[in-house]
Structure 1
Amino acid sequence: MSKTIFEQIAAGEIPANIVYEDDVCIAFTDAFPLSKGHTLVVPRKPVENIYDLDEETGAHLMKVITKMANALRSAFSPEGLNVVQNNGAYASQSVFHIHFHLIPRYKDEYDGFGYHWEQDPNKRTDEEKSEIQNIIRTHLNA
């Protein structure tokens, strides 16, 4: 099986602008950034998506994501920051190795990040909401 581009970067087989690395993960600036400081945080081991991510690695990634977010805020003073992680082609995942985008947002700079959020048009009753809640709880230990 061929390695993903992120496995190749983590192995030092192809160049990247690495800003942080440890035994578990690596962080580097995006080769095609949406904004100044756009950074990716990626585990070294191959994990396709969040469904395959073990809790220990996930906790470590979040620790590094927090560290990187604070470094970006200190370095560039953005007005905001999006942390984006996609799972599956339908959710716009294009490299099938889990990765987190940290995208600094600047008030007067176009960044091409077309984030749009709309509420579910299905107006759910309190009973339906309660049923959804119970289904999720039932599957927490599945």
Structure 2
Amino acid sequence: MYVESNCVFCEPKLEADQKIILSNDYCMFLQLDQARIKGVKLEGAGLIVPKTHRQTAFDLSLEEWQATYELLPHVKKYIDETYQPDGYNLGWNCGEISGQHIPHAHLHVLPRYADEPLAGKGIRYMFKNDKNERKGFTGLNWNK
């Protein structure tokens, strides 16, 4: 198993506020202490990360994909019982342009709540937003 000594996902103890909540042979579910506070923006949110250092989701082994798949329902059960969300967003950011700020693959597990100002807005919302239109392109209308 390859680990980067300065990576906060390879070495979770490097981030003092980060806890391993659940794990299996190939991956773990991490959660920051502030995500465990009722009412915060990312209440209940966490990440499923492979234990071996992988740059993006495209680099995961078949075993790591399977382990992520197997851990996800346990993560959902934990979040459902602890935070009682009304829905979820799941997502991978792959590469700096997509918003991946830590170069270790991680699946965002984001509980959503009916009382959020943006309730009902999914992960495509930012892409459908006119403020995110690429310069010089006046094509399709995705806002339907």
Q: TM-score, normalised by structure 1?
A: 0.70
Note closer, same or farther for the CA distance 1:30–1:13 as it changes in structure 2 (3 Å cut).
Answer: closer
Contact 1:28–1:41 (Cα < 8 Å) also in 2? yes
Q: 1:94, CA displacement in angstroms?
A: 0.6
The superposition leaves residues 88-122 of structure 1 with CA deviations (integer Å, 9 ceiling, x where unpaired) of: 011111101001111111111358x984143x828
Query: Which of the pair has more CA radius of gyration?
Result: 1
Q: What is the match of residue 140 of structure 1?
A: none
Secondary structure of the corresponding residue to residue 28 of structure 1: strand
**Matched ranges for 1:1-142 at <5 A:** 2-9=5-12, 12-15=13-16, 16-30=18-32, 33=35, 34-110=41-117, 115=123, 116=125, 117-118=127-128, 121=140
Question: C-alpha root-mean-square deviation of aligned residues, in Å?
Answer: 2.9
Q: TM-score, normalised by structure 2?
A: 0.69
Contact 1:25–1:44 (Cα < 8 Å) also in 2? yes
Give structure 2 stretches of 5+ with no counterpart.
36-40, 129-138
Give structure 1 stretches of 5+ with no counterpart.
124-142
**Match for 1:46: what amino acid?**
H
Contact 1:78–1:105 (Cα < 8 Å) also in 2? yes
Note closer, same or farther for the CA distance 1:20–1:60 as it changes in structure 2 (3 Å cut).
Answer: same
The number of equivalent residue pairs is 120
**Match for 2:10: what amino acid?**
E
